Amino acid sequence: MKKGLFALALGTFTLGMTEFIIEGILTDVAHDMNVSIPQVGHLISIYALGVCAGAFSLILMHKYRPKNILMFLTSLITIGAVIASIAPSFWLLLCARFIQGLPHGAYFGTGAIVAVKIAKEGKGTSAVAMMCAGMPFANLMGVPLGTFLSHNISWRVPFVMSIVLGLTTLYMIYRWVPNVAALANNGMKAQFRFLRNLAPWLIIFATFLGSAGMLCWFSYISPLLQMEGGFSASSISLLMILAGFGMVVGNLSSGPLADRFKPGRITSCYLLTSAISLLLTFFFSATPWAVALLMFSTCICLFGVGSPEQYLIVKHSEGGEMLGGCCIQAAFNSGNALGALLGGIPVSLNLGFNYPALIGVPLVLAGAICLWMFHKKYE
């Protein structure tokens, strides 16, 4: 792997750790802050809203060199982690999570452009997948470690880890990421012209619907495993490693498959598989081995769609590539926010932690249809 791609991947590792650690420490935060589990779920939604708000800041920053933008965004990641690690109240923790979300979409949008620019011919999707690889590896290693330390020391420890990762990423970006030229500045209106076409909208809607459906389920994965599957709290860290391994498999397989068989076709297949896994999760949540295996399957799909969608939006947003990259992250994280919200409804009604998976099924299916339409019309 090129050093520049490794530095970008470390940034996505930090973002993955920051975003997904809440799922693993949900019950710890609830007990310490004396709030309910559905209330702690708002920490997921507020992060996603921060992503959406921050992503579109690139409309104003597109004239700067991508390397400088990445360094600014990494600094913001670190600042948010500092506030979260010392937050004395749940409300300040909510504010910290919003700040942590601000650089997320913009980082992916900018990083995807740099990855494509330094990639070999015909390996664009694979390069973006390598940049995004930090996210699943964060779920394989960072989140389980953070969950273990949270259970045994404090839920604040994972945020301290994010501070260290943020500072390390900042240094590596400074040293290793090529200082590629800024995108052509053709004015504000030119950035939005690609939205006149149907192709980017199909990609955006598929991303939004797919992430909403899968995050309905994943937002409450820890209580699902404990209260429905019968797993002990001490086993959650190991199960998060299994989930993270599934995400790594999904991420690493999606790039080469998409380069060979077309990104739209591959992502629609991933979403269809996810819908089946979520439906089976609803029915077999009380069977420990089944719910664990289905978690692994769904996590493959969760991270199998990300890199191809990020690549597709950059390819189909000529003149507004940076904005397009942000749109896909805004769609993914607004879907996360909706998913956490919808998943919390049956939980609040005491229907059981398997119901969020059922709510996710039609959303994911709708996303699969959008991508299949894209594949038939544009690939």
Stated pTM of the model: 0.78
For the chain, the structural domain boundaries read: 3-378
Report the C-alpha gap between 360 and 213 in whole angstroms: 4
d(CA 338, CA 361) in angstroms, rounded, equals 14
pLDDT score recorded for residue 187: 66
Q: What does each C-alpha distance from 244 to 47, 141, 193, 299 come to in angstroms?
A: 20, 7, 38, 7
Query: First CA to last CA across the chain, in angstroms?
Result: 28
The single-letter DSSP state of residue 229 is S
Among 322, 379, 326, CA closest to 66: 322
Scanning the chain, the segments in alpha helix (DSSP H) are: 3-33, 37-40, 42-55, 58-61, 66-86, 90-118, 124-132, 134-137, 143-152, 157-176, 198-218, 221-223, 236-261, 263-284, 288-304, 306-315, 321-348, 355-378
Closest to 361 measured CA to CA, from 267, 298, 284, 308: 298
Residue 291's pLDDT is 93
Pick from 28, 262, 244: which is nearest to 141 by CA?
Answer: 244
Contacts of 152 (CB under 8 A, 6+ apart): none
CATH of the domain spanning 3-378, picked from 2.40.30.10, 2.60.40.10, 3.40.50.150, 1.20.1250.20:
1.20.1250.20
Per-residue pLDDT of the chain in tens (379 residues, 90 and over written 9): 578 889 999 999 999 888 888 877 878 888 888 888 778 878 877 887 888 788 667 667 767 888 899 999 999 999 999 999 999 889 999 999 999 988 887 888 788 888 878 777 666 677 888 888 888 888 788 888 888 888 889 989 999 999 999 999 999 999 998 887 776 666 667 778 888 899 999 999 999 999 999 989 988 888 899 888 888 877 877 887 888 889 889 988 888 888 788 888 999 999 999 999 999 999 998 899 999 999 999 999 988 998 888 888 878 887 777 778 778 877 887 887 788 889 888 988 888 889 999 999 999 999 999 999 999 988 7
How distant, in Å, are the alpha carbons of 46, 181, 251, 298 from that of 97? 6, 32, 25, 25
Give the pLDDT of residue 145.
86
- The total number of residues shown for the chain amounts to 379
Instruction: Give the per-residue pLDDT at 71.
Output: 93
Q: Which amino acid is at 60?
A: L
pLDDT confidence of residue 140: 80
CB burial readout 122-131, b (16+ within 10 A) else e: ebbbbbbbbb
Euclidean distance between CA atoms 316 and 346, whole angstroms: 38
DSSP assignment of 96-143: HHHHHHHHHHHHHHHHHHHHHHHSPTT-HHHHHHHHHTHHHHIIIIIH
The Cα–Cα gap between 280 and 291 comes to: 8
Beta carbons of 367 and 275 less than 8 angstroms apart:
no
Q: What is the pLDDT of residue 1?
A: 56
